Amino acid sequence: MKTVISIQSHVAYGYVGNRAAVFPLQRLGCDAIAVNTVQFSNHTGYGEWTGQVFTAEHVADLMDGVAARGVLPTCDALLSGYMGDVGLGQVIVETAARLKAANPRAVYACDPVMGDVGRGFFVRPGLPEFIRDHAVPAADLMTPNQFELEYLTGRTVQTLDDALAATAALRERGPRLVLVTSLTRKDADPGHIEMLADDRDGAWLVSTPRLPLDPPPNGSGDAVAALFLAHYLKAFDPAGALEQAAAAIYAIFQTTRRMGTRELQLIAAQDEFVNPGQRFTATRVR
């Protein structure tokens, strides 16, 4: 059994942040240690919410307590998502270093949540620069969307060659593996959306039909990062993890659409995490 520390936001209602990541990790056999950076009533996409943002000191104190239990040497990965502010980002990067000191084989998986195509940046000033300059060099696995990939590399992605050049540029700055969680390019079928996994040994592309979801459910990137990480930790096989994550998130989207809700239907689709009814083949592109 793999153990993953997940430092992300938390909502009481709905599925984003740790609510979108912890259950998939657990359903796939990982022991998840959840550390919450905020506790809100619901995600901010609704336009109104209640709750509190936790301080960097609060999260650091929690990690001290977790470390005091002696679990860091047995932890296999740290997964981070929405950081909130630079102070909290510093705590997360320091936690990654602390974990690697205790277990040099541990993986730091960073989902660089900061913006998206059409929305631009939606995080506090200074955080994109912190992620670019500090989280990227510390990470082993990065899971940006297309907007975040372009920002982190300073490159425009319009074709597959553009995407491969950008993921290679990102890997040169630290991460050994990059997963682009949503790729839309001019030289591809507009009725499909893709994910791209790239490491030093090769790159693989998987395509799934684009489903009409309006509005698109929040938390899909959080879920994909967790699904991919859980499968990757089993065999360190990027292509296999890519296929499994693509099948799972497609099933989640199908279930969410069928049930007519804007919240990801993780519970209803949970069996698809383990044994997806529809599979998608990853094609080697490098």
Q: How is residue 135 annotated by DSSP?
A: I
Residues, the chain? 286
Q: Could you write out the three-class secondary structure of 49-83? A: CCEEECCHHHHHHHHHHHHHCCCHHHCCEEEECCC
Between strands 177-183 and 141-142, the pairing is parallel
The residue assigned the tokens 């056999």 is 29
Q: At what angle do helices 18-27 and 220-235 cross, to 10 degrees?
A: 30
CA distance 266 to 4: 19
Residue 133 among known ligand-binding residues:
no
Cis amide bond preceding 215, omega within 30:
yes
Q: What angle do CA 193, 175, 181 make, to 5 degrees?
A: 15
- CB of 227 closer than 8 Å to CB of 249: yes
- CB of 125 closer than 8 Å to CB of 167: no
> How many CB atoms neighbour CB 173 within 10 A?
14
- CB of 107 closer than 8 Å to CB of 76: yes
Residue 263 among known ligand-binding residues:
no
Residue 148 among known ligand-binding residues:
yes
Binding residues for substrate: 9, 222
Binding residues for ATP: 111, 148
Binding residues: 9, 111, 148, 222
